[in-house]
Amino acid sequence: MDALKATCVWKKYGGQEVLKGLDLSVESGSFEALMGPSGCGKSTFLHLVAGLLSADDGEILVGGNAVTKMGDSAATKFRRRHIGVVFQAFNLLSEKTVRENILLPLALDGVNASSEEVKSRCDELEAALGIVAIDGKRPSELSGGEQQRVAIARALVARPDIVLADEPTGNLDTAAAKATCSLLKELNRTEKSAVLVVTHDPQVAASATKVHFLKDGRIAASCETLGDPARVSQFYLETYK
């Protein structure tokens, strides 16, 4: 089963069609990227998948469940349990500690944060992401790279079917961006959750195994990255020439 399957998805803003019958499948457990110029609808599509926006037409399935048929309340509950979201701006709660931020999706879902299972899961993610030492700190005390690691842990804590990462390295310096890409790749391997990362950066896209190019509201082309940013750049130039 695909982690994500979008079929003929349409979305209009202010009378302008942004997505025009988009089709896209992301295999379970895979790490894939979505590229395109600014304003082409990449982030809009991710928000539709996450149930943060409603499509005008078409169908989006996550783990076989039709997100496009859910009301706001059902979509919110489904997102907490099955979809992890990593934002460029991190979106951590300033008054909460690192651990409290990580556990937020479970807490909102009524899960007992003090249970041994939850503690073990959080310990596991903190160790994998190298943030054990900052467990009790608040976001204002962290670097951008540290905040992004916390955001990734939060996205993974509920063992989602898919993690959606929207320009996850956009606010990071080169070293932190490279580390974040490596972490996403390694966590995709160990956690088995599919990852779809939206980016304009060939270096980030090359961390994925496959990249899709969004043009004129549809997927215009897809290619295997082979871990090569130059290959991604070449396909990008050919797609948008």
Res. 64: pLDDT tops 90? yes
pLDDT digits (tens, 9 = 90+) for 156-178: 999 999 999 999 988 888 888 88
Supply the DSSP symbol for 167: S
Percent of the chain with pLDDT strictly greater than 70: 100
pLDDT for 2: 92
Res. 221: pLDDT tops 90? yes
Per-residue pLDDT, averaged over 32-41, amounts to: 93
pLDDT for 21: 97
d(CA 165, CA 1): 21
Q: Mean pLDDT, the chain, as a whole number?
A: 93
pLDDT for 237: 95
Per-residue pLDDT, averaged over 148-154, amounts to: 94
Q: Which pLDDT band, with edges at 50, 70 and 90, does 38 fall under?
A: confident
147 token code pair: 């905040």
- Type of residue numbered 128: A
Strand ranges, E, within the chain:
2-13, 16-27, 31-35, 57-62, 65-66, 83-86, 162-166, 194-198, 210-215, 218-224
Give the Å distances, CA to CA, from 29 to 52, 82, 89, 160, 185. 23, 13, 25, 11, 11
pLDDT for 56: 96
pLDDT for 114: 81
Res. 131: pLDDT tops 90? yes
**88 or 10, higher pLDDT:** 10
pLDDT for 171: 87
Res. 14: pLDDT tops 80? no
Across 158-189, b (16+ Cβ under 10 Å) vs e yields: bebbbbbbbbbbbbbeeebbbbbbebbbebbe
Give the Å distances, CA to CA, from 199 to 112, 150, 165, 177, 203. 35, 20, 9, 12, 9
pLDDT for 39: 87
Percent of the chain with pLDDT strictly greater than 90: 83
Residue ranges and CATH numbers for the domains of the chain are 2-240 (3.40.50.300)
Per-residue pLDDT, averaged over 111-140, amounts to: 92
Give CA angle at 48 (226, 213), nearest 5°: 30
d(CA 222, CA 211): 6
Calculate the CA dihedral of residues 181, 183, 184, 187 and round it to 10 degrees.
160
Per-residue pLDDT, averaged over 185-211, amounts to: 94
Q: Taking a C-beta distance cutoff of 8 angstroms, is the pair 167, 89 a contact?
A: no
Across 218-236, b (16+ Cβ under 10 Å) vs e yields: bbeebbebeeeeebbeebb
Beta-ladder partners of 27: 2
Strand 194-198 to strand 210-215: parallel, antiparallel, or no bridges (unpaired)?
unpaired
Res. 241: pLDDT tops 90? no
pLDDT for 215: 96
Per-residue pLDDT, averaged over 182-206, amounts to: 93
Across 95-114, b (16+ Cβ under 10 Å) vs e yields: eebbbbbbbbbbeeeebeee
Q: Taking a C-beta distance cutoff of 8 angstroms, is the pair 184, 31 a contact?
A: yes
